[in-house]
Amino acid sequence: MPKWPKIIIGVTIFIELLAIFFLARIIRIKLSSENNILGISVTPLKKENFLFPQDSELKYFYEPKPDTTQTEERTWFNSDITYTINSDALNERYNYSIEKPPDTFRIIALGDSFTFGSLVNTRDTWPEKLEDLLNEHTGCKQQQKFEVINLGVGGYDVAYIAQRYKARGQKYSPDLILWLESGTGFENINELIIPRMTKYAKDRDLGFKQYEIKEDDYYPIATQALNDIKKIYGEDTLLTQIRGAWNDFFEMRGDIPILIAPLLSIPKERVTLLDSWIQNYKNITIYNELPDIYSLRVVFPDGHPTAEGQLLIAKSMYAYINNSNLIPCILSSQ
């Protein structure tokens, strides 16, 4: 494999940690105007774009602010992108009725920034593209319409994704859940990482300076926080906690079918571990045939999928759904 994809794959696990870091700064520290990470100019997240629900069981839980149009600068392409956050705090083109319309098959899309669609316009995220593909090519007589509702948020770990589903997703009575797993579902525990990263930023006065980047140390605060919690708690203890978060979600969703689609950059042993965790549950499938967005180079310099990469993910999801029994009808050929 060429060196470039190897480096990007190595960075992937820290992409969400960077989002967590910015949110940690939002919670306690006033943000400056701009930061430079991995040699890439990144616009910090803005406090006014987020909610911090007081009724959440998770201390640092956050969500996008409803009914906002948010812009983010892609400085390496000298262009801005726009997120349209609907009335239910979702990165969506539309508002969806709580009561499911007749003859509608409803899908909930879960995940972190790869599902939210960081650095692409709302219309170009894989959930939006999948919704379009399903509605354009359906031959279903049972369902006249498909809805794919995007609950993804950057920086989320498994517990936060589960909380997001509980707070926002359950009420939509989905027929299917799609979970795009970027790899952070085996590493991140936000309730431990967020306060630690904030403390490091204060104590070491790292703030928003530019750092010397080494191949194995892409972002010092993220690396230090992750490594320290592993030393303090031990990897086995952390994995037990992460598995508990997965289990909580599996039980919460009831009998609704789940399709989990891991990126190909995730080590096989992690996917095998997840496969062992789902054995006691029904209606859960792991789909291991997503396109390799890194070797195809349909990612931005920070590792997130481009609009083309998002479309490839959507087409792959569509193809699998089309050839499975997850939807009770046969779809017309694309």
Query: Which range scores top for mean pLDDT: 31-35, 132-136, 169-173?
Result: 169-173
- pLDDT (average), residues 104-130: 96
pLDDT of residue 37: 38
* Share of residues in the chain with pLDDT > 70 (%): 79
pLDDT of residue 35: 42
CB 303 within 8 A of CB 7: no
Domains and CATH numbers, the chain: 3-322 (3.40.50.1110)
Listed range (40-54, 57-71, 175-189, 242-256) with the worst mean pLDDT: 40-54
Listed range (7-11, 42-46, 316-320) with the worst mean pLDDT: 7-11
Provide the pLDDT confidence category of residue 328 given band limits of 50, 70 and 90.
confident
What are the φ/ψ torsions at residue 154 (nearest 5 degrees)?
-60, 140
pLDDT of residue 226: 82
pLDDT of residue 205: 53
Q: What is the pLDDT of residues 62-83, one digit of tens each?
A: 999 999 999 988 777 778 999 9
pLDDT of residue 278: 96
CA nearest 305: which of 15, 6, 87?
A: 15
- pLDDT (average), residues 98-118: 95
The alpha carbon of residue 208 and the mean position of all alpha carbons in its chain are separated, in whole angstroms, by 24
pLDDT of residue 124: 98
Structure tokens at 274: 């997840």
Q: Using CA atoms, how far apart are residues 283 and 256, in angstroms rounded to an integer?
A: 7
Helix (H) or strand (E) holding 200: helix 190-203
Mean pLDDT of the chain: 83
Q: What is the pLDDT of residues 272-312, one digit of tens each?
A: 999 999 999 999 999 999 999 999 999 998 889 999 999 99
Residue 121 has pLDDT above 90, yes or no: yes
Q: Using CA atoms, how far apart are residues 29 and 16, in angstroms rounded to an integer?
A: 19
Q: What is the pLDDT of residues 186-235, one digit of tens each?
A: 888 999 988 888 777 666 554 434 334 344 444 567 777 888 898 999 98
**Dihedral angle, C-alpha 236, 237, 238, 241, nearest 10 °:** 120
Residue 250 has pLDDT above 50, yes or no: yes
- pLDDT (average), residues 148-177: 96
Residue 159 has pLDDT above 50, yes or no: yes
Q: Name which residue leads in pLDDT, 196 or 317.
A: 317
pLDDT of residue 322: 86
Residue 9 has pLDDT above 50, yes or no: no
What are the φ/ψ torsions at residue 55 (nearest 5 degrees)?
-90, 5
pLDDT of residue 18: 67
* Share of residues in the chain with pLDDT > 90 (%): 57
What are the φ/ψ torsions at residue 42 (nearest 5 degrees)?
-125, 130
